[in-house]
């Protein structure tokens, strides 16, 4: 078990677990003796438990070793969603707010893959930004834009990234680009102005002027929202518009992306500058998966999200050939050999380990800076093993009405719940006044939830590994991220959760992704139902191509 990726599951309770914990704690204490002075504020768990890790584990543990070069650990206070440390403190898996606040109390979750599908639906609804959260971010953009335009009236501020697409988590940052004419980028000038105008504190603003794309990273002092500001990068807005078109083509894309972004975020694998993969890379991987995943239901609203999530983890955790294969989504999508991709690359660059062709600039490799991609691959493989075993008919914990299946790989920390609660209480008055800002005049996209998260409700309760959360209903509203829009509801497709026959996942019905880029895929999606009840036949027919066959 890799402590940087996982935590204990309910079935692991027992003497063996406690013995392992004592041995592991002893190893931690021994390794901590080698830490240099000044590293005490960095969480240093999971040191040499697995010495055969694919990445340099000493760096993952935050050790100050100048000879190491992989994935430095971020401190806990920089990432509210981080689950690192749960191995040392197992009580944090549940925490004060339950750890799985997306679950609805007394909701009749189905067993196995049906329950996982329903949990993903509810996770998406719960983690979607509320109107208050969305308005708070709009206010941050407005204030930053005013400062920039006061310095350079002819400049233009544009929003891109997850705020523009609506695919942002409660703790996601805002991506802004400033378009203007400068002989030298005014990074330090803008940094000084932000400090003078009290937008950010000195210790919460960083100028990354040596990066391939120089940016200013800051945390807004008023709202604690993180902002990344770049200059003269026009492709950001075009990329966001491209993603929105794929969101329309694949209705399941948004829900898969939400779960996957949270999965990487809580493991500190979501930042390129620490070796992880960017949100843009993750979304392109999802799009490629849906393009080449031979299930017609992947383009339908009613697709089984549990099956798709497990197969995504299997593809990129086990089957995809990172050494020889590149990802291309344009022209319908396909896998291409890295030798072929290198012909289009400029300046003698070689394809990276995670090679993703930029659909807007084919010579650009989106994944070139993700030097810790093998750690991401191991995380995906771990998630595949956990989820596929959890939906197995032999698993006594597969009853999703009692045990959270999605909660085995994804948790919502107490810090995130408290932050969302603070935002709702402190800034709800912002809904009474519209925001006027040129940067917020972009076209409406799918986006925000119409109510506060269930765990923030004064009358609601939350869920743990063993019990459901609270809410009054399960709606997945249509969502709109335009700052001053009138939000409206659109009922989600109903999911029947009482089944005697569950979808079976046939390992022989999946294509071999990336092993041989010229190899054709096998698409034998057969199904059967052993029940003669007409109602159960109809229910089984909904998931004809989502069969589970776990030995």
At 354-402, the pLDDT tens digits run 999 999 988 888 988 888 899 999 999 999 999 999 888 777 666 777 8
**Do residues 368 and 349 make contact, with C-beta atoms less than 8 angstroms apart?**
yes
pLDDT confidence bin for 34, thresholds 50/70/90: low
Report the SS3 class of residue 226.
strand
- Supply the angle between the helices 373-390 and 112-127 in degrees, to the nearest 10: 130
Among 26-30, 45-49, 150-154, 247-251, the least confident range: 45-49
Tell me: pLDDT of 61 over 80.
Answer: no
Residue 465 pLDDT exceeds 70: no
Identify the band that residue 293 occupies on the pLDDT scale cut at 50, 70 and 90.
confident
pLDDT at 459 over 50: no
Q: Which helix (H) or strand (E) holds 158?
A: strand 156-160
Which of 99-113, 285-299, 432-446, 533-547 is predicted with the least confidence, judged by mean pLDDT?
533-547
Residue 324, pLDDT score: 92
Residue 396: its pLDDT value, please?
Answer: 66
Of residues 176 and 68, the one with the higher pLDDT is 176
Is residue 471 over pLDDT 70? no
Task: Write out the two tokens for 353.
Answer: 């380990």
pLDDT confidence of residue 297: 62
pLDDT attached to residue 488 = 35
pLDDT of amino acid 35: 54
Single out the residue of 208, 348, 371, 196 nearest to residue 278, CA to CA.
371
Between 403 and 530, name the one with better pLDDT.
403
Residue 447 has pLDDT above 90, yes or no: no
Give the pLDDT confidence score for residue 187 in this predicted structure: 93
Q: What is the DSSP letter of 317?
A: I
> Among 40-49, 318-327, 349-358, whose mean pLDDT is lowest?
40-49
HEC readout, 46-113: CCCCCCCCCCCHHHHCCCCCCCCCCCCCCCHHHCCCCCCCCCCCHHHHCCCCCCCCCCCCCCCCCEHH
- Strand duo 215-219 + 205-208: pairing: antiparallel
Is the predicted pLDDT of residue 57 greater than 50, yes or no?
no
Task: Say which residue, 188 or 400, is predicted with more confidence.
Answer: 188
pLDDT at 84: 73
**What share of the chain has pLDDT > 70, as a percent?**
64
Confidence at 227, pLDDT banded by 50, 70, 90: very high
So what's the pLDDT on residue 510?
45
> What CA–CA distance (Å, rounded) separates 269 from 187?
27
Grade residue 403 by pLDDT with cuts at 50, 70 and 90: confident
The residues with which 421 forms a beta bridge, in sequence order, are none
- Cβ-based neighbours of 536, under 8 Å, separated by 6 or more: 499, 500, 501, 529
CB atoms under 10 Å from CB of 163, counted, come to 27
**So what's the pLDDT on residue 298?**
59
Widest Cα–Cα separation across the chain = 75
Residue 387's pLDDT is what?
Answer: 94
Residue with the larger pLDDT of the pair 260 and 450: 260
Across all residues in the chain, what is the average pLDDT? 75
Confidence of residue 544 (pLDDT cuts 50, 70, 90): very low
| Least confidently predicted of 119-123, 376-380, 460-464 | 460-464
Q: What are 229-279's pLDDT values in tens digits?
A: 999 988 899 999 999 999 999 999 999 999 999 999 999 898 887 889 999
What is the enclosing helix (H) or strand (E) of 311? helix 305-314
- Confirm if 336 and 517 have CB atoms less than 8 A apart: yes
Q: Is the four-CA dihedral 198, 200, 206, 209 of positive or negative sign? A: negative
Q: Which helix (H) or strand (E) holds 175?
A: strand 174-179
Does position 350 have pLDDT exceeding 60, yes or no? yes
pLDDT tens sequence across 274-292: 889 999 999 999 999 999 9
CATH architecture of 132-237: 2-Layer Sandwich (3.30)
Q: Domain spans of the chain?
A: 10-76, 132-237
Q: Which residue has the higher pLDDT, 219 or 497?
A: 219
Sheet of strand 325-328, all strands in order from the earlier edge strand to the far edge? 334-337, 325-328, 355-356
Q: Name which residue leads in pLDDT, 310 or 507.
A: 310
Do 311 and 320 contact (CB within 8 A), yes or no? no
**334 φ/ψ angles, rounded to the nearest 5 degrees:** -165, 165
Helices first, then strands: H and E counts in the chain: 14, 8
């Amino acid at each position: 078990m890799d402590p940087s990726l996982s935590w204990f599951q309910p079935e692991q309770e027992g003497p063996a677990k406690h013995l392992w914990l004592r041995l592991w704690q002893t190893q931690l204490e021994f390794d901590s003796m080698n830490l240099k002075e000044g590293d005490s504020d960095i969480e240093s768990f999971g040191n040499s438990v697995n010495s055969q890790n694919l990445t340099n584990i000493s760096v993952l543990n935050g050790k100050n070793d100048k000879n190491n070069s992989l994935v430095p650990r971020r401190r806990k206070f920089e990432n509210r969603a981080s689950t690192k440390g749960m191995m040392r403190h197992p009580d944090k898996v549940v925490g004060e707010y339950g750890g799985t606040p997306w679950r609805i109390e007394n909701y009749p979750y189905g067993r196995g893959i049906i329950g996982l599908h329903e949990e993903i639906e509810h996770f998406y609804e719960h983690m979607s930004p509320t109107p208050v959260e969305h308005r708070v971010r709009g206010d941050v953009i407005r204030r930053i834009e005013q400062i920039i335009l006061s310095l350079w009236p002819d400049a233009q501020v544009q929003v891109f990234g997850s705020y523009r697409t609506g695919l942002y988590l409660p703790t996601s940052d805002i991506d802004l680009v400033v378009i203007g004419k400068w002989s030298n980028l005014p990074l330090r000038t803008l940094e000084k102005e932000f400090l003078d105008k009290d937008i950010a504190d000195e210790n919460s603003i960083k100028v990354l002027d040596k990066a391939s794309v120089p940016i200013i990273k800051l945390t807004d002092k008023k709202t604690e929202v993180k902002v990344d500001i770049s200059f003269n990068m026009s492709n950001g807005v075009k990329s966001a518009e491209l993603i929105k078109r794929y969101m329309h083509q694949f209705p399941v894309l948004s829900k898969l992306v939400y779960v996957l972004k949270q999965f990487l975020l809580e493991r500190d694998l979501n930042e390129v500058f620490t070796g992880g993969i960017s949100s843009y890379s993750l979304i392109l991987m999802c799009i490629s998966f849906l393009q080449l995943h031979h299930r017609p239901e992947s383009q339908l609203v009613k697709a089984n999200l549990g099956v798709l999530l497990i197969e995504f983890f299997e593809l990129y955790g086990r089957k995809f050939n990172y050494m020889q294969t590149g990802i291309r989504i344009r022209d319908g999508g396909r896998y291409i050999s890295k030798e072929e991709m290198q012909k289009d690359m400029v300046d003698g660059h070689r394809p990276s380990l995670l090679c993703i062709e930029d659909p807007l600039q084919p010579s650009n490799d989106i994944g070139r800076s993700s030097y810790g991609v093998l750690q991401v691959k191991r995380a995906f493989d771990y998630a595949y093993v956990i989820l596929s075993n959890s939906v197995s008919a032999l698993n006594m914990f597969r009853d999703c009405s009692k045990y959270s299946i999605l909660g085995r790989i994804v948790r919502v920390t107490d810090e995130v719940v408290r932050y969302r609660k603070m935002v709702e209480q402190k800034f709800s008055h912002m809904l009474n006044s519209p925001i006027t800002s040129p940067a917020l005049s972009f076209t409406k996209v799918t986006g925000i939830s119409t109510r506060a998260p269930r765990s923030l409700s004064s009358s609601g309760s939350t869920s743990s590994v063993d019990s459901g959360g609270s809410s009054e209903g399960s709606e997945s509203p249509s969502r709109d991220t335009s700052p001053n829009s009138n939000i409206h509801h659109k009922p989600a497709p109903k999911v029947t959760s009482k089944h005697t026959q569950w979808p079976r996942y046939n390992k022989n019905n999946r294509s071999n992704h990336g092993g041989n880029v010229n190899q054709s895929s096998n698409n034998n999606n057969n199904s059967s139902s052993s029940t003669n009840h007409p109602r159960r036949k109809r229910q089984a027919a909904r998931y004809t191509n989502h069969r589970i066959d776990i030995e």
